[in-house]
Amino acid sequence: MATSQIAVIVLLGLLVATNIHITEAQLGVCYGMMGNNLPSHSEVIQLYKSRNIGRLRLYDPNHGALNALRGSNIEVILGLPNVDVKHIASGMEHARWWVQKNVKDFWPDVKIKYIAVGNEISPVTGTSSLTSFQVPALVNIYKAVGEAGLGNDIKVSTSVDMTLIGNSYPPSQGSFRNDVRWFTDPIVGFLRDTRAPLLVNIYPYFSYSGNPGQISLPYALFTAPNVVVQDGSRQYRNLFDAMLDSVYAAMERTGGGSVGIVVSESGWPSAGAFGATQDNAATYLRNLIQHAKEGSPRKPGPIETYIFAMFDENNKNPELEKHFGLFSPNKQPKYNLNFGVSERVWDISAETNSTASSLISEM
């Protein structure tokens, strides 16, 4: 066999291994747009592609971004923003219109995987006025997606945060707050009946920064050398797993034991508040991306996880919210990440594609 052919086989083998590595991690990145200095939509999607980021979360159906996504093969969580939830809940005609204009008009060129109906709507936060519209909006969008012939392709869910959890310690005793069960139980039931996952925003940073006396930094950063929480036969060395498994336990207590979880946001700020440093953010992100391939003690296996966020966004408040980006607005990476979907692996994959193509063309 010619040397060039052997080289191609080796390179293609490396490429396949790299792509499998990325697929195993099931990682995406959230594309927030609350900045006045961000790249164009086409530049952003090209950055996702060049870095082999195969999943993306959009917080609203921005048509510029959706058009840029056409033909990219990037899987998308498409957000139906909170401001539209009440309107969508008020009638099927509104849900049909929304699905036609923002989903069907882009399908199948854009690989929409989930529709997130609302983000962090909760009876115990400033979004409490929307809570009575949450389930009706979910049902209407689910029906509209089905009527559009996409019921087998797109799952309809909502994204929640940890404020709904009343008890999270130990994780096996996780439960929803008693005063929100009227809100969470119907959501869990809807997801169970439609076989859709719950989207959960999980931030060990906020748990740590709000309670540093009780939660150690290594436990929050995945760097604890020993077991921190022994929960029956399950051992916890990091806070992310404990938080995730407490939500699984809470759903099981409300009849949702079969409902999966997609981690729809997780990240660590690099500035702007206590514990928000470049080093801490790099450590958390590096370890999160590695850990996403492994799963939690309760649910071993890859965890579909979306890192928040693609860019620093200078129009967000308070200050720490401006500093969650993997990239600066000039598209330069903030971190030298060395893990499953790292700067290094992304670059190697791009180079391997180019080199393999060159060698093949010469054979």
Burial class from Cβ neighbours inside 10 Å (0-12, 13-18, 19+) for residue 90 reads middle
Q: Establish whether the linkage from the previous residue to 196 is cis, with ω within 30° of 0.
A: no
Residue with tokens 């979360």: 57
Q: Which of 89, 29, 18, 71 is nearest to 54 (CA)?
A: 29
Helix (H, G, I), strand (E, B) or coil at 23: helix
DSSP 338-349: -STT-HHHHHHH
Q: How far apart are the first and last CA of the chain?
A: 12
Q: Establish whether the linkage from the previous residue to 123 is cis, with ω within 30° of 0.
A: no
Helix ranges restricted to H, the chain: 3-25, 41-50, 63-69, 82-89, 92-99, 131-147, 181-194, 204-210, 217-220, 239-253, 278-291, 343-362
Looking at the DSSP bridge assignments, the partners of residue 306 are 28
DSSP 194-258: HT-PEEEE--HHHHHHH-TTTS-HHHHTT--SS--EEETTEEESSHHHHHHHHHHHHHHHTT-TT
The residues carrying an active-site annotation are 120, 265
Looking at the DSSP bridge assignments, the partners of residue 31 are 58
Give the strand pairing for 165-167 and 175-176. Answer: antiparallel
What are phi and psi for residue 293, nearest 5 degrees? -75, -20
What letter does residue 62 receive in the DSSP assignment? -
